[in-house]
Amino acid sequence: MSEFVISAPAQPSVAVAGSSARFPVRRVFCVGRNYAAHAREMGSDPSREPPFFFTKPADAVVPASGTVPYPPMTADLHHEVEMVVALGAGGAEVAPEQALGLVWGYGVGLDLTRRDLQAVAKDAGRPWDMAKGFDASAPCSALRPVADVGHPGQGRIWLEVNGQLKQEGDLNEMIWGVAEVISYLSRFVTLQAGDLIYSGTPSGVAALQPGDRLRGGVDGVGEFELVIGTR
Ligand code: MN
């Protein structure tokens, strides 16, 4: 057994509903503009774009409960509620018909976004990393296994801020379904057990303020409730 020159980093992980066992996180992939209404609100034409992906560090995943910090270097932190797909097996060039066989389970998460930094990056043709991949930028609910929830292809996805409904859509409005997302992503990288995929957000994204109370969910998958911390 080899030794490390510093203490090995902790393994990021997500809770599993009804269990003390946890799901270890390897990588976090996110799908951009996967609901037509959200693509339109971001100024894109949803009919002509193949899916595109960005990533967050594995340790950006934090529980979607308690207090999630308001990050530094932004004055425009946006919420994006998303269904989270957790892979229990991997593969490359996975056919769409085989893709759901890689899924271990599902959860509900937030793709927190520094929208002001993202706008600057878009204008300058720069990477999105600092707009998307900051600390605690990927809150995630407890996961539920496929054995419990199946493969949800429809159902309400929603987010309330301070009791007011801000985002609402249906999983059946995804431009690229989960199987297609997994299949397409597996053409770019070899997917592995432990990878999470944030599958895109419905319309209604907006700015958060310190102290905001968020409740979100995907019907049949789960719900979460958290507070945004002080700046
Ligand atoms: Mn997103």
The enclosing domain of 34 has a CATH number of 3.90.850.10
- Give the whole-angstrom CA distance, residue 196 versus residue 86: 5
Number of domains in the chain: 1
Run of H or E residues at 139: strand 138-140
How confident is the model over 124-165, as pLDDT tens digits? 999 999 999 999 999 999 999 999 999 999 999 999 999 999
pLDDT of residue 116: 98
User: From ligand 1's centre to the CA of 172, what distance in Å?
Assistant: 17
Q: Work out the pLDDT band at 83, boundaries 50, 70, 90.
A: very high
In a domain, residue 9? The reply is no
User: From ligand 1's centre to the CA of 76, what distance in Å?
Assistant: 15
- Give the whole-angstrom CA distance, residue 212 versus residue 69: 11
Query: Alpha-carbon dihedral of residues 217, 221, 225, 230, nearest 10 degrees?
Result: -80
How confident is the model over 111-123, as pLDDT tens digits? 999 999 999 999 9
Q: How far apart are the first and last CA of the chain?
A: 43
Q: Give me the domain span that covers residue 62.
A: 29-228
User: From ligand 1's centre to the CA of 148, what distance in Å?
Assistant: 25
How confident is the model over 48-77, as pLDDT tens digits? 678 899 999 999 999 999 999 999 999 999
User: From ligand 1's centre to the CA of 132, what distance in Å?
Assistant: 9
In a domain, residue 104? The reply is yes
CA atoms 170, 172, 174, 180: torsion sign = positive
Give 161-202 as a DSSP string: ETTEEEEEEEGGGBSS-HHHHHHHHTTTS-B-TT-EEE----
User: From ligand 1's centre to the CA of 174, what distance in Å?
Assistant: 12
In a domain, residue 15? The reply is no
Whether the per-residue pLDDT at 80 is higher than 90: the answer is: yes
In a domain, residue 157? The reply is yes
pLDDT of residue 42: 85
Kindly report the pTM of this predicted structure.
0.97
In a domain, residue 4? The reply is no
Q: Work out the pLDDT band at 32, boundaries 50, 70, 90.
A: very high
User: From ligand 1's centre to the CA of 111, what distance in Å?
Assistant: 5
What is the share, in percent, of the chain residues with pLDDT greater than 70?
Answer: 99
User: Among 37-51, 99-113, 115-129, 170-184, which stretch is predicted with the lowest mean pLDDT?
Assistant: 37-51
In a domain, residue 23? The reply is no
Give the mean pLDDT of 200-225.
97
User: From ligand 1's centre to the CA of 61, what distance in Å?
Assistant: 14
| Cβ neighbour number for residue 60 with a 10 Å cutoff | 21
User: From ligand 1's centre to the CA of 16, what distance in Å?
Assistant: 22
Whether the per-residue pLDDT at 38 is higher than 90: the answer is: no
User: From ligand 1's centre to the CA of 230, what distance in Å?
Assistant: 23
Whether the per-residue pLDDT at 92 is higher than 70: the answer is: yes
- Give the whole-angstrom CA distance, residue 165 versus residue 208: 13
Q: Work out the pLDDT band at 1, boundaries 50, 70, 90.
A: low
Give the mean pLDDT of 93-111.
98
Whether the per-residue pLDDT at 209 is higher than 70: the answer is: yes
In a domain, residue 91? The reply is yes
- Contact partners, residue 120, CB within 8 Å, separation at least 6: 126
In a domain, residue 16? The reply is no
